[in-house]
Amino acid sequence: MKTAKTDVLSCRLMVIGAGMAGMAAALFAARHGVSTVQAGLTGETQYASGLFDLYGVKHGSTRALIDDPWQGLKQLKQDHPKHPFCRVSTRQIRSAMDRLTDFLGDAGHPYMGYPNKNARLITPVGTLKRTFRVPKTMWAGVQALEEKAPCLIVDIQGLRGFSASQIVSTLKPSWPGLTAASIDISWESRLGPKYAEHIARSLEVEAARRDLADTIRPHLGHAEYVGLPAILGIHDTDTIRRDLKQMLGRPIFEIPTMPPAISGVRLKEIFDIHLPRLGVSTFFHHTVLSVQRQADGRFALEVGRTEPETTVVADNVLLATGRFLGKGLVAERKGIPSILPESRWTTGSGR
Ligand SMILES: Cc1cc2nc3c(=O)[nH]c(=O)nc-3n(C[C@H](O)[C@H](O)[C@H](O)COP(=O)(O)OP(=O)(O)OC[C@H]3O[C@@H](n4cnc5c(N)ncnc54)[C@H](O)[C@@H]3O)c2cc1C
């Protein structure tokens, strides 16, 4: 794909953006044998909960909750035919979701879900969330909630943003079998606040899993399930989940933590490692600084950190720069996204 000048790349597809949309697009293109270059900062992926929402809240003002996303999408297409979801068929959406989760499963991070139903699970603030695909490390939590089974929620002293007693006190009126425990993981020797990523990486060693199981065991009581913050490793999460399940004799599940969360770090690391292996030329710490349409119809894109470092000449460009967090949309001082035509800018006086 490289031309004579080493700082010029030629490809069929340039993907601008390295969030979930850009990553999925680069994956699908590479799997179809399309020569692909991708640029973007993967840092935003660390804000992902790891849950893949499809359609769980009705579009429009009612915000009604949706159990069957396919039925919901059918209705959406009737009510709002210009909605972006109407540009793709149900079959395409289903196949894309399967291909994405199969890829993640092959990379050691399997996903679970119902064929035609959104799953419900606990959030770190004790509310319930509907989503379509759930990391396997979180799946037993979906089952525990469905059964309203006796369940122990565990938090870790020093790990901020996750309180078992807060989750339990919020949910207990509708789920009386919930209990909370707060454990001291003195075996995780770093001083000061605990970070989910440090704990997750330490659990990749079996001895740390034994220490964690030994610390949780005295709190089990009648619990049939154990819920933990999302800390079950970065790589090979399923082995850690299975080991802890065996050590404690109960299904274990993770509850997503507040962003930035390791559930996002896992996705980031999988894409960082596997997309280049599939042949995608990645510029993950770079952005596209400018784009020009050439006389031959191709696009010339300058890629770099602050100064152009590489020119990519692409037949096609896929823009996946997200919204405000990823800086795909930028708010001007007047608070109006810059993508709006100037005729629609306003001073906020309701003009
Ligand atoms: C608080 C919060 C919680 C959420 N929870 C969930 C959830 O649980 N489940 C779910 O499915 N969705 C959730 N979402 C929505 C989800 O985050 C977004 O749908 C998803 O991240 C969008 O991905 P994206 O790739 O479109 O954009 P982003 O993830 O924002 O990625 C944009 C990418 O574009 C890149 N970029 C921008 N400008 C350039 C440029 N000039 N050149 C190159 N690259 C550029 C950025 O560096 C970045 O890589 C949540 C969103 C928020 C805000």
284 within 8 A of 18, measured Cβ to Cβ: yes
What distance in Å separates the CA atoms of residue 238 and residue 240, rounded to the nearest whole number? Answer: 5
Instruction: Report pTM.
Output: 0.89
**Shortest-distance atom of ligand 1 to CA 18:** 49
Once rounded to an integer, what is the mean pLDDT over residues 109-135?
Answer: 96
Label residue 189 by pLDDT band (50, 70, 90).
low
What distance in Å separates the CA atoms of residue 51 and residue 138, rounded to the nearest whole number? Answer: 9
Label residue 284 by pLDDT band (50, 70, 90).
very high
Ligand 1 centre from 308 Cα, in Å?
A: 24
Q: Could you tell me the fold of the domain covering 136-256?
A: Rossmann fold (3.40.50)
* Per-residue pLDDT, 7: 83
Residue with tokens 């799953």: 119
Whose C-alpha lies nearest to ligand 1, atom 41?
A: 288
Using a 6 Å cutoff on CB, does residue 245 contact ligand 1? no
255 within 8 A of 153, measured Cβ to Cβ: yes
Label residue 335 by pLDDT band (50, 70, 90).
low
Ligand 1 centre from 284 Cα, in Å?
A: 14
* Per-residue pLDDT, 338: 54
The whole-chain average pLDDT of the chain stands at: 90
- Domain segments of the chain as ranges: 136-256
Label residue 225 by pLDDT band (50, 70, 90).
very high
* Per-residue pLDDT, 351: 29
Using a 6 Å cutoff on CB, does residue 317 contact ligand 1? no
Once rounded to an integer, what is the mean pLDDT over residues 65-87?
Answer: 94
* Per-residue pLDDT, 25: 97
Q: What are residue 230's phi and psi, to 5 degrees?
A: -70, 100
pLDDT tens digits along 232-265 = 999 889 999 999 999 999 999 999 998 888 999 9
Q: Is 56's pLDDT higher than 70?
A: yes
Pocket-testing residue among 14, 23, 327, ligand 1, by greatest number of atoms within 8 A of Cβ: 327
**Between 329 and 320, whose confidence is greater?**
320
Kindly give, in sequence order, each residue whose CB lies less than 8 Å from that of residue 225, ignoring residues fewer than 6 positions away: 140, 141, 143, 144, 149, 150, 151, 152, 250, 251, 252, 253
Percentage of the chain beyond pLDDT 70 is: 91
Using a 6 Å cutoff on CB, does residue 16 contact ligand 1? yes
What distance in Å separates the CA atoms of residue 312 and residue 342, rounded to the nearest whole number? Answer: 30
Q: Is 4's pLDDT higher than 80?
A: no
Ligand 1 centre from 317 Cα, in Å?
A: 18
What does the chain come to in residues?
Answer: 351
Q: Is 336's pLDDT higher than 60?
A: no
Pocket-testing residue among 13, 23, 36, 49, ligand 1, by greatest number of atoms within 8 A of Cβ: 49
Ligand 1 centre from 299 Cα, in Å?
A: 24
Please report, as a single letter, which amino acid is at residue 92. Q
